[in-house]
A and B are shown apart, each in its own frame.
Chain A
Amino acid sequence: MAARRALAAYLFLLPALALLGVFTFYPVVFGTALSLFDYDVISPPRFVGAAHFRELWTDRYFWIALRNSLVYLAVVPALQLGAIVLALWVRRPLRGIGWFRAAYYLPVVTSMVVAGLLWRWLYDESGLVNYVLLRLRMIHAPVHWLSDPSLALYAVMAVTLWKGLGYYMVIYLAGLEAIPPVYEEAAALDGAGAAARLFRVTIPLLRPSILLASTLSAIAALRVFEEMYVMTGGGPVYSTYTLFYYMFDQAFNALHLGYAAAVGVVLAAVTIGLSVVNFRLLRQGGLSYY
């Protein structure tokens, strides 16, 4: 009987485990190993040791991509700060607040392609962004948001902010709801002002959410690709070329699969390193029974 139940359990799990094995565990493990091989799909893989990593060290485009990916991480604190402020704001019991929340969430459910096309038009030399800024006299001549190499990366970052704000707002709203109101009430009874309650009670108790959201956001920022692919194609002159973009190009355009895997491994190492730092910084705080 027990053996039959165990067999039934494994059969229930079979589809999920088979698919996870084939499309997650196998490709991640062997993809990492692939960084030590030369592979172009057609001829069999050839072991080259650490040659790809040595090659990366002197690869100009790799360093450009790495630099851009690291600069792009600036969206993380901006996004988290904005989302926390927004969550605290829309927590108020104002009439019709649900509609505002929905409006902030709208970009989240939109396809990146639609968002990218929209912003490509908005950012155009004769697009709406320039129109509004010219009208407000904040600029004197149209700005080439996406075709100026010194601006393009930041213009793309703004789209990531626009698209992600609502998502993290929802995470923080859930985090705020999980904090029992007694803490703030007790602080208020002890004579803490609104600012003290916010910075000494609410924000420290929100730490688990901040840790989670900033880790998710950093991982997403390091893997940024679709924004660039749709809006700038990595240009102008590689100013929006990221590590993920380089991996994509090497794997699927140049068919240097082993080299692409090496780029992927570096990207993974940066991601893991950053997550560890993030955990160290934000581990404390929150409720102990969380």
Chain B
Amino acid sequence: MRNVFQGIIRASSFFRKEIFEILRQPRLIATLVAGPFLILLIFGIGYRGQGRTLRTLIVAQADSPVPAQDIQEYGKSMAAQFTYAGVTGNQAEALDQLKRGQVDLVIVEPRDITSTLRNNQRAVFSLYHNEIDPVQVSYITYLGWVFAGEINQQVLRSFVEQGQADTGDLRANLQQAHQNVSAMRLAVQSGDEALARQKQQALSSNVNAVSTAAGVSLGLLDNLLESQSANKNNAAPVRSTLNDLRQNTSLLSDSPGSSNERLARLDKIDKNVTDLDGKLTEFQSIDASIIVSPFRSETKSVANVQPSISDFYAPAVLALLLQHLAVTFAALSIVRERNVGTMELFRVSPLSAAEALFGKYISYMLFGGVIAAILSALLVFALRMPMQGNWWSFTLVIAAVLFTSLGIGFAISIISQTDSQAVQYSMIILLASVFFSGFIMSLDMLWEPVRVISWMLPTTYGTLLLRDIALRGAAPNWALLGGLVAIGLVLMLLSWRLMRRLISSSQ
């Protein structure tokens, strides 16, 4: 019992010592708290969530089928990511401007578009840039894809608009057909066969004109009207209606029948004409851009909250900072004692490796915990980071992150020969965490074998767990938490064995 009590006293010596040493550095504490808070605050204020706009110069070909004025109009109405910088016919000069940084993007119109299309090939717009950043290159590649899509849509839209204009002629024929049906009906009813025959011929002429003008576009029109129709049951296909009209008109001339039969036939023809006119009117009223791009998407989340970008990064920053703090403090702790000779004093004293390590763990856990508490409070109450989950779960995860990070730090400290070596190792851990922990990109973007590194870093676990708890309001993922603690225990055991070698055995 006495030995246990003395062991606690020996461990407590480190607890007090480490805390006092840290408290003697108020600037360090202020930096640890204020630094991440300010970074997140400024990031939240400064982040706009918009891609970069590119000053874009268009190179038009001399043989371009598109008038220069149209190109200018198009340039001014391009997607928000492009800022129109002008149009030129000189590609070399345009590329020179690009190299000098006067523009960010040069779009070169394809040569001889008509021949290319006739050869059953796609015409290629070339997008030139002067970027070396792979992310920017990807962004411009994506914008190229957007640009091609826009051009294709524009071409389609012009076709549709032409089709809508043509529909006006069709409707004029249908109007005449309607008038001829009415006149023929009156002629049949009055027994004026000559007039009836005359109107029948005029009607046939109208129907033939409609059939010819509509042509193959009726299929497209049919599908569009069918897809646009609110009431599918009343929606007779356009092609079928036109066929009916033609058939009824032919029957009227080929086998006229009795007066009543002719009048009944005329009613059917009139209905066909009215149907077609109604559908063409509907077709004309639809915006060409909707016909070209009839669909759009809307994303909706079933998550409890939609955090802002700074809210989303806040748990990751907290996890990363706590890991770095714990790793660095622990890494410097033992290596300094070894370098200045304090370790020699420990070796002669009754201090055991477990007591020294226990004291250091407790002190840094407490210190890290206080920093985490202040930072979390600032994030939630000052930066308004959502806190959907349970504070106890949040605290548990932070404790686990600190515990495992300290294990890394102590292991570094024991294997390092100098302060600078320990700092270097700590920086490597930090760098690895930035790239592999999912801090800046999702883990899914990493090749699976490389993710082994990710799963060795406390920040990876901390980020996932803290985000789930704070932003989703979920209970901790016990498998993740268990994995994190298991790594911490292994590291603690390793540190203890290494520390024993330092303290307990002779050299």
A and B associate in one complex: no
State the B residues within 8 Å of A (CB).
Answer: none
**Which A residues are closer than 8 A to B by beta carbons?**
none
